[in-house]
């Protein structure tokens, strides 16, 4: 009876942490610039897992914080390795994370070698930190969390060789965050294209990472501040052209509101932002990267009254 009673007490203690409590704890940790690793007994208990989750998430918060003045892969590599070293010296990290830290340091050390990421060094560094947070949220046990980090905290040497095509949504959502992030930066065109309307894309008519062609009137066109993607919308579907594709294709047309265009690129399921869908985006489906744009009809000129 005693082991059963102990298990029930651990479960009760874990259930007493509400979302407000966890938010307050995370805010306090960030304000104090330390990472607290609460002690908890029983490596298989819900309480132990919750302590490890909080420590991994707090570590992600520190590593995801802005790196002032950083622009290149080498800048981010040096700054984030120094930040990680400082955190390790300060202590307070959950001891269970110890095996992951050398792997994380090696990952940051390898950044200057990943020339394919030259134009998205900052967003990639954020994705690495977010992998820690996602692993803490998705994992159901302590071994699962640590195994997930060991598996996902890696970057490919050859970006294009790491990609595949025709992924089901069920399989896509199982991929690590870094892998999903990198798919947005494909540098090769699809060999074939399926034609689909924006409505069909939103309905999930195609798999993830297949070539697609669609057309319609652009309702918005702007450059995203956070990653410099050129973003535009057709029929409620977000389409994005990454900065490295723009640089390597200087004659590519960047769609503007009011134009009717034909777009070719790769389907993408952006489940980073599922929480936005009810209030902001009508769908997680995108074309990303959008790689070819043909103007079918220019935007109508402004009337004299509108211009004034």
b/e map of 28-45 (b: 16 or more CB within 10 Å)? ebeeeebbebeebeeeeb
> What is the spatial distance between Cα 118 and Cα 112, in angstroms, rounded to a whole number?
8
pTM for the structure as a whole: 0.82
Residue 20 clears pLDDT 60, i.e. is over it: no
Per-residue pLDDT band at 23 (split at 50, 70, 90): very low
Q: What are residue 133's phi and psi, to 5 degrees?
A: -70, -40
Per-residue pLDDT band at 244 (split at 50, 70, 90): very high
Residue 114 clears pLDDT 60, i.e. is over it: yes
Alpha helices in the chain (DSSP H): 2-15, 19-32, 46-64, 73-90, 100-110, 121-138, 142-152, 169-172, 177-183, 198-202, 243-248, 304-307
Name the residue ranges covered by the structural domains of the chain.
17-152, 183-297
> What is the spatial distance between Cα 287 and Cα 304, in angstroms, rounded to a whole number?
35
* Pairing state between β 237-241 and 285-297: parallel
- In whole numbers, what is the pLDDT of the chain averaged over residues? 85
> What is the spatial distance between Cα 295 and Cα 216, in angstroms, rounded to a whole number?
10
* Pairing state between β 260-269 and 230-234: unpaired
Give 183-297's CATH code, choosing from 3.40.50.170, 2.40.30.60, 1.20.120.1810, 2.40.50.140: 2.40.50.140
CA 152 to each of CA 78, 131, 141: distance values in angstroms, whole numbers, following the listed order: 21, 8, 16
């Amino acid at each position: 009876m005693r082991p059963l009673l102990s298990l029930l007490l651990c479960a009760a203690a874990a259930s007493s942490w509400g979302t407000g409590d966890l938010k307050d704890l995370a805010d306090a940790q960030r304000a104090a610039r330390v990472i607290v690793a609460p002690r908890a007994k029983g490596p298989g208990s819900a309480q132990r897992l919750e302590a490890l989750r909080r420590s991994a998430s707090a570590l992600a918060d520190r590593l995801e914080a802005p790196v002032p003045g950083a622009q290149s892969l080498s800048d981010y590599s040096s700054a984030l390795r120094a930040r990680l070293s400082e955190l390790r010296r300060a202590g307070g990290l959950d001891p269970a994370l110890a095996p992951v830290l050398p792997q994380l340091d090696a990952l940051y050390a390898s950044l200057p070698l990943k020339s394919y990421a030259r134009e998205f060094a900052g967003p990639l560094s954020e994705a690495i930190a977010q992998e820690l947070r996602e692993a803490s949220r998705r994992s159901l046990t302590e071994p699962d969390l640590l195994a997930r980090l060991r598996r996902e905290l890696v970057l490919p040497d050859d970006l294009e060789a790491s990609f595949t095509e025709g992924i089901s949504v069920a399989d896509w959502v199982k991929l690590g965050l870094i892998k999903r992030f990198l798919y947005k930066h494909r540098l090769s065109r699809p060999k074939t294209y399926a034609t689909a309307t924006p409505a069909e894309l939103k309905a999930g008519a195609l798999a993830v990472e297949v070539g697609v062609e669609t057309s319609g009137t652009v309702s918005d066109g702007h450059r995203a501040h956070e990653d410099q993607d050129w973003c535009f919308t057709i029929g409620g579907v977000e389409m994005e052209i990454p900065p490295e594709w723009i640089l390597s294709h200087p004659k590519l047309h960047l769609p503007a509101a009011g134009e009717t265009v034909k777009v070719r690129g790769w389907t993408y399921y952006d489940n980073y932002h599922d929480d936005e869908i009810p209030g902001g985006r009508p769908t997680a489906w995108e074309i990303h990267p959008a790689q070819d744009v043909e103007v079918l009809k220019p935007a109508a000129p402004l009337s004299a009254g509108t211009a004034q």
